[in-house]
Structure 1
């Protein structure tokens, strides 16, 4: 018979006294605990161990397997997992920073000493110091091949200078390439093309120069915006030299450098206002990352189409985090975050952000499931347009209400990407499932989650043995506990209570249920009369509670 708060079994008087005694006992229900949302295990946040004023400058540049971050009087070096390897210190006034594509060296501009220093990533030491005393107020660095380009300009009326030097030479010396722009310039160089801001004509205009001969020949200008634009745009060139990218507060633009015509806009979404504060182009020229002030965080765009391929909000937990600088390394995006209040610099790594997106959908049945009974979930893996999912393995994880998780056997997609997961929840409550595809060399992995409401399984007890016994002789009873049609799965114990002939009740302790569901109880009654032996399962996270009783008449011996 099943014990419930509103329905009592119709048993004899001793049994009713027993039920009254048990009235204060509560059958244990399955505890429902919401499991924490799964964070990306690959993404990382590294405290760089330095403090920086918001007025100070920081740059990040990467090459090979190294990431370089400038901060005040030092350049910090991490690997591409975001692990801090060390720092090069005693570098007064680090302003600009560029790394070679192989990550062997980085070049840092020191405003206080009018130098550009060459840093060896392996030894974390300065290997060369290049004197720029003749070219004060260094405002920008650019590296193209073995040529390091520098831009200088102290004020709008003193004139600006652009130089180049061959870093492969034993003793490189800067050579003046361009003068007389009358402002503090920003530059970008790739291949035979040099970009330079032209604020003397309009703040948003950019001059395009051919530098194939070592000198600068003006090819034309990019009309970078409407007359209301009052600040210089950020600018860069794709590594193949074909496309310029300009960054304005309202969004980003790409321009064809052969025809000097605008190609498309990025991130200019009236429904999601924000301000671009940093940007980066991937080494292969396929992706553009934008760092936005406020809630938009980081967005990645397909440079050729303008489509958004990835978004990630800035992590919460610190006051007003802000992106200072960013770069793309392989398939990952690295951003340097400044947080007011703490002023600590952190390196935020988004792994595989530049890969093509995929998606996993997972659906749970609408109806309530039952513990120890199969439940089926369905889903679908979707890859980028033109790619067939085919037969692919998915990692499946089950999370129980108590927070524990178990990896289930792999699910496999069909040719069209559809799949199903069949599982038997061992406990009641809200049971969650994660289905993950790890991704490939070109496509980012993805995960979907779904939850199933699981009810407790019914339980039943049997109890049998002698119905008569002699006073003073040992009495044994046997029984079985079942969870639905199954043997119990939680190794439960049963409470044994004896209702005595004089109207009292005696708790005889507990008996453990075997894996098969069987149990045995023994007792030696010492009075004549009618006894009622009851075994009680109070219920647990898997099954409901139940009770069963057995009557025994005890008489005097001959």
Structure 2
């Protein structure tokens, strides 16, 4: 079980993690091998007869094809070149990552059964071995040379070695197939000098482990079916365990360490474990995410850490598709935004949201800026003026919803270099403002007198600021009605109409405001009696 370490790619913190799935469009067989590495803002997936390339967000960029039986892939620290192992043709191809093209082929015809690659600086290390008994070999190649040629470093290995290299330290699974000893070599002068072993007789290392090393060469990470161990390479002593919880089912199938050596990711084959992130220094579980559903029983083949993100290659038995699962900001410490709002509010009246930003233990509390977005019923959204927390993380945000309906609010914190951003959402049922009309005028007229009606329109207890119009309809004594048109209110909500009734009897002056998505409709009436005058 080989393990991989991704190169750091600068990535700014986001408001909230947005995981994604990319179908790599690869016809993949269980007999093929997959590996994933990252560098230079790109992700490289070895998949059968090609290396598929995406950007750091998982968006497909292309593929380098015509590579029979890619078994492993590594990338240079600057991301300029990737190297893919082709055991079937006994060569390693160099890939220009900008052009996505093979630029050189390194011949390994003299070394049978290319099985594993490791890259440290400009030195490519290879492990060879066809079976348990044919003699494993480890070589090194200076890829900065104009014509790189492999140089034998170790021979006589009784089984195919698994290797990991950083700086001047080479790790190799010991050739004795009955134990899991890990041999530690000094390779500072180009040759391999044995410094010691990690004892395979320890009960914790009773099976052949996966193998990785932090980039500073200080710590070995061993992966076993039930979890990880870290070992100090200066003293060759065990430091701590990770993920070894007998109460939780799962078998480790993929692993990666970050380039800075601070984060360890493990992928599990069963149950609900999915991907787990650990702090290498403390052993603490810092994040866990289930494998995404949506198709039958996907499983993790391989994984890498790029910047703050974890990339996993997923495979589903019975299909030919590989998928790349991106876990955004997975290595950052978690934060959380809690948000609450009133159940009801009124359009164009203040509503207050309350909440708290919770940061990881040990992170200094202080004022943090928040981004607030309001979502209206028509689907449009507006970024409001930024809010901020108090030093204890609490905050209050006041807004005036402009319309009625279900109004949503999103409050997010962008995060920091070490803490993952977070976001919370809440919806408020916003009612329309109540509208009201007040009418005044003479209620008794003599035929021939002009009638004057005065009125006031209010929204709630305030005058409407938009100077809306009202409609006036007169009900006549004979049962007919006359539309007297509309009149616009003043800024104070007042209006005035005049009319000249032309017959005796009872009139009804109806004034209507039709309402909108902010205020309710309303109607009021004034009854007026017109009588004959004295002769």
Q: What TM-score does the superposition give when structure 2 sets the normalisation length? A: 0.83
Kept after mapping to 1: 8 A contact 2:15/2:413:
no
Cα pair distance change 1:238/1:490, threshold 3 Å: farther
Choose the corresponding residue for 1:332, options 309, 332, 346. 309
CA distance in 1, matches of 2:250, 2:463: 60
CA distance in 2, matches of 1:513, 1:344: 67
Choose the corresponding residue for 1:188, options 147, 164, 175. 164
* Structure 1 stretch displaced more, 96-105 or 221-230: 221-230
Choose the corresponding residue for 2:119, options 143, 150, 159. 143
CA distance in 1, matches of 2:439, 2:201: 88
> 1:403: Cα distance to partner?
3.8
> 1:133: Cα distance to partner?
1.8
> 1:506: Cα distance to partner?
7.9
Kept after mapping to 2: 8 A contact 1:337/1:345:
yes
Match in the other structure for 1:438: 414
> 1:227: Cα distance to partner?
8.1
Match in the other structure for 1:412: 388
Which runs of structure 2 are paired with 1:68-217 in the superposition (5 Å)?
68-198=44-174, 200-202=176-178, 204-213=180-189, 214-217=191-194
Match in the other structure for 1:248: 224
CA distance in 1, matches of 2:463, 2:317: 59
CA distance in 2, matches of 1:514, 1:90: 78
What secondary structure, in the 3-state scheme, does the structure 1 residue paired with 2:197 have? strand
Kept after mapping to 2: 8 A contact 1:362/1:379:
yes
> 1:177: Cα distance to partner?
2.6
CA distance in 1, matches of 2:27, 2:488: 61
Kept after mapping to 2: 8 A contact 1:204/1:225:
no
Deviations 1:359-387 (A, max 9, x none): 3333435x644433323233333444443
Cα pair distance change 1:170/1:434, threshold 3 Å: same
- The alignment yields a C-alpha RMSD, in angstroms, of 3.7
Between the two proteins, the alignment pairs up a number of residues equal to: 519
Match in the other structure for 2:288: 311
Which runs of structure 2 are paired with 1:249-268 in the superposition (5 Å)?
249-268=225-244
CA distance in 2, matches of 1:42, 1:343: 26
* Structure 1 stretch displaced more, 240-249 or 536-545: 536-545
Kept after mapping to 1: 8 A contact 2:160/2:175:
no
Cα pair distance change 1:201/1:58, threshold 3 Å: closer
Kept after mapping to 2: 8 A contact 1:381/1:389:
no
Which runs of structure 2 are paired with 1:439-454 in the superposition (5 Å)?
439-454=415-430
What secondary structure, in the 3-state scheme, does the structure 2 residue paired with 1:531 have? strand
CA distance in 2, matches of 1:72, 1:161: 24
> 1:455: Cα distance to partner?
4.5
What secondary structure, in the 3-state scheme, does the structure 1 residue paired with 2:88 have? coil
Match in the other structure for 1:278: 254
Which runs of structure 2 are paired with 1:380-391 in the superposition (5 Å)?
380-391=356-367
> 1:143: Cα distance to partner?
0.8
Match in the other structure for 1:551: 527
* Structure 1 stretch displaced more, 210-219 or 188-197: 210-219
CA distance in 2, matches of 1:522, 1:87: 80
**1:395 maps onto 2:371 in alignment:** yes
Deviations 1:388-409 (A, max 9, x none): 3333321111234454322211
Cα pair distance change 1:250/1:516, threshold 3 Å: farther
CA distance in 2, matches of 1:311, 1:483: 51
Kept after mapping to 1: 8 A contact 2:17/2:422:
no
Cα pair distance change 1:228/1:385, threshold 3 Å: closer
Kept after mapping to 2: 8 A contact 1:363/1:379:
yes
> 1:101: Cα distance to partner?
0.9
Cα pair distance change 1:310/1:486, threshold 3 Å: farther
CA distance in 1, matches of 2:482, 2:269: 71
Deviations 1:218-240 (A, max 9, x none): 6112438748966x432100001
Deviations 1:155-198 (A, max 9, x none): 22333222222222222222233334433332211123222234
> 1:465: Cα distance to partner?
4.7
Match in the other structure for 2:3: none
**1:297 maps onto 2:297 in alignment:** no
What secondary structure, in the 3-state scheme, does the structure 1 residue paired with 2:414 have? strand
Kept after mapping to 2: 8 A contact 1:471/1:527:
yes
CA distance in 1, matches of 2:378, 2:178: 63
Q: What TM-score does the superposition give when structure 1 sets the normalisation length? A: 0.80
Match in the other structure for 1:17: none
CA distance in 2, matches of 1:460, 1:282: 65
Deviations 1:275-314 (A, max 9, x none): 3321111111111122233543333221101223333344
CA distance in 2, matches of 1:521, 1:41: 60
Cα pair distance change 1:507/1:353, threshold 3 Å: farther
Match in the other structure for 2:35: 59
CA distance in 1, matches of 2:30, 2:492: 68
Cα pair distance change 1:138/1:546, threshold 3 Å: same
Kept after mapping to 1: 8 A contact 2:50/2:67:
yes
> 1:495: Cα distance to partner?
7.0
CA distance in 1, matches of 2:241, 2:334: 21
* Structure 1 stretch displaced more, 516-525 or 476-485: 516-525
Deviations 1:326-347 (A, max 9, x none): 2112222222333567643333
* Structure 1 stretch displaced more, 108-117 or 471-480: 471-480
Match in the other structure for 2:10: none
CA distance in 2, matches of 1:260, 1:522: 101
